[in-house]
Amino acid sequence: MISLVTLKLQQLTLRPDGLSGGHGLCAGCAESVVVRQVVFALENPAVVSLATGCLEVATTRFPDTAWRVPVIHSAFENAASTASGIEAAYKALVRKARIEPRKFTIVVFAGDGATYDIGLQWLSGALERGHRFVYICLNNEGYMNTGIQRSGATFAGTWTTTTPAGRAVHGKPQWRKDLTAIVAAHGIPYVAQAAVHNWKDLLAKVRRAEAATGPSFVNVLAPCNRGWRHEPEETMAISRLAVETGFWPLYEVVDGAWRLTGASRKSKPVTDYFKAQGRFRHLLAPGAEKQVDEIQARVDAEWQALIARCAAFKPPPLEGGGLGAGDSKVPPPSNSLLPEAGVSGEGVTDGSE
Ligand SMILES: Cc1ncc(C[n+]2csc(CCOP(=O)(O)OP(=O)(O)O)c2C)c(N)n1
Ligand code: SF4
Ligand SMILES: [Mg+2]
């Protein structure tokens, strides 16, 4: 019996591992770390819907697979539809008494290209229909598998191969899409932002996402050392910097209530984040000061807007159930929206097994 409330790293190693070694992801890639953390966190066995992207290409090279849980390879755009189909098929088979009811959790893994851009309408439809699944966006802010192209998640000013840093264009001109807020606007029971370095926060969020009695969505920042231009061993430090500089606040939206988690705070200037990655090198050169000031101002404004959004929701009385210092005051979700929609689980978990 392992309690997620008091989980230690050593105990985590006893949990079932979703991926074996020997896959083809780059050394230092955050994607395999996120996948393993997610599968560690789940209460139930996982059935995975996997979109095309680095994770899929590097873990399912025929005739081999690195997966230790069942996986359905979807196309780039329709991983959420595949998840909907798994749920619908399961319900039909149980209804027709072709199989016994069983507990399992449908998990989608999809990159930011597959989620923010190409799969957005499929995702939106599945959320609106209320299928029960945990959608994990592996957000490395670009189409990395096809050569580091910009996506709707790419930050303004970022160098990519389609937004070069030259005289005419100085990195990506547009601001990124706020997909987490767009998903929250669907009114689903659980939405969160997490980052790979804060494993306690991520595990707690996956548990809450799994317990939600409807669709849930966790947008996980997953640095790509190839595309972000940093050394493989710096992945976790860069993820932490993204939170500390306010580029990637950690928060969750539980039944419409917004709250910061994981000790998320903004304590460093954006230039600290830029200095750590080659994709922002041009922003540190003379002449880029105005662009940097604009980015800092926007990050500050978004942070203030998030604080205001969180302050607007008064948290209900404390009930425990969190994980880690930053979460100890977060009550479990009430899961009130879609009581009939679930495939698996028994509602709210108190974090113990
Ligand atoms: C409809 C369609 N368009 C384009 C592609 C080519 N393609 C395969 S993976 C990929 C990039 C994936 O980006 P993302 O979803 O962010 O995942 P990452 O590789 O960054 O983890 C692209 C463009 C495709 N397979 N299908
Ligand atoms: S290119 Fe980036 S996302 Fe793809 S495997 Fe390498 S580090 Fe991971
Ligand atoms: Mg990507």
How large is the average pLDDT for residues 60-65? 93
Residue range 276-286, pLDDT digits in tens:
999 999 999 99
Predicted confidence (pLDDT) at residue 336 exceeds the cutoff of 70: no
Give the distance (Å) from ligand 3 centre to CA of residue 318.
37
Dihedral sign from CA coordinates of 51, 186, 221, 121: positive
Q: Which two tokens stand for residue 47?
A: 């059935």
| Ligand 2 contact via 112 beta carbon (within 6 Å) | no
Q: Which of 139, 43, 121, 134 is nearest to 86 (CA)?
A: 134
Give the distance (Å) from ligand 3 centre to CA of residue 344.
29
Ligand 1, atom 2: closest residue by C-alpha: 76
* Cβ(16)–Cβ(39) below 8 Å: yes
Give the distance (Å) from ligand 2 centre to CA of residue 144.
6
The answer to whether residue 335 sits within a structural domain is: no
What residue type is assigned to position 171 of the chain? G
Looking from the CA of residue 232, the nearest atom of ligand 2 is: 7
Predicted confidence (pLDDT) at residue 23 exceeds the cutoff of 70: yes
Burial of 177 from C-beta contacts in 10 A (0-12 / 13-18 / 19+) = middle
Residue range 239-266, pLDDT digits in tens:
999 999 999 999 999 999 999 997 667 8
- Counting residues of the chain whose pLDDT is more than 70, the rounded percentage is 86
Ligand closest to Cα of 25 equals: 2
Query: For position 316, what pLDDT does the model report?
Result: 59
The kind and range of the H/E element at 48 are strand 46-50
192 pLDDT band, cuts 50/70/90, is very high
Give the domain CATH number at 39. Answer: 3.40.50.970
Give the distance (Å) from ligand 2 centre to CA of residue 112.
13
Query: For position 8, what pLDDT does the model report?
Result: 74
Give the distance (Å) from ligand 2 centre to CA of residue 55.
8
Ligand closest to Cα of 30 equals: 2
Give the distance (Å) from ligand 1 centre to CA of residue 118.
9
Q: What's the total number of domains in the chain?
A: 1
Ligand 1, atom 24: closest residue by C-alpha: 76
* Cβ(312)–Cβ(188) below 8 Å: no
330 pLDDT band, cuts 50/70/90, is very low
7 pLDDT band, cuts 50/70/90, is low
Query: For position 168, what pLDDT does the model report?
Result: 80
Ligand closest to Cα of 59 equals: 2
The answer to whether residue 126 sits within a structural domain is: yes
The answer to whether residue 338 sits within a structural domain is: no
CA angle 214, 350, 325 (to 5 degrees): 105
pTM recorded for the entire structure: 0.90
Ligand 1 pocket, CB under 6 A = 52-55, 76-77, 111-114, 118, 138, 140, 142-146, 151
Ligand 1, atom 16: closest residue by C-alpha: 113
Query: For position 84, what pLDDT does the model report?
Result: 98
315 pLDDT band, cuts 50/70/90, is low
201 pLDDT band, cuts 50/70/90, is very high
How large is the average pLDDT for residues 194-220? 96
The answer to whether residue 352 sits within a structural domain is: no
The answer to whether residue 100 sits within a structural domain is: yes
Domain with 59, as residue range(s), is 9-327
The answer to whether residue 85 sits within a structural domain is: yes
The answer to whether residue 3 sits within a structural domain is: no
Looking from the CA of residue 25, the nearest atom of ligand 2 is: 5
The answer to whether residue 93 sits within a structural domain is: yes
Residue range 37-49, pLDDT digits in tens:
999 999 999 999 9
6 pLDDT band, cuts 50/70/90, is low
- Quote the CA–CA distance of 70 and 83 in Å, as a whole number: 13
- Counting residues of the chain whose pLDDT is more than 90, the rounded percentage is 79
| Ligand 2 contact via 115 beta carbon (within 6 Å) | no
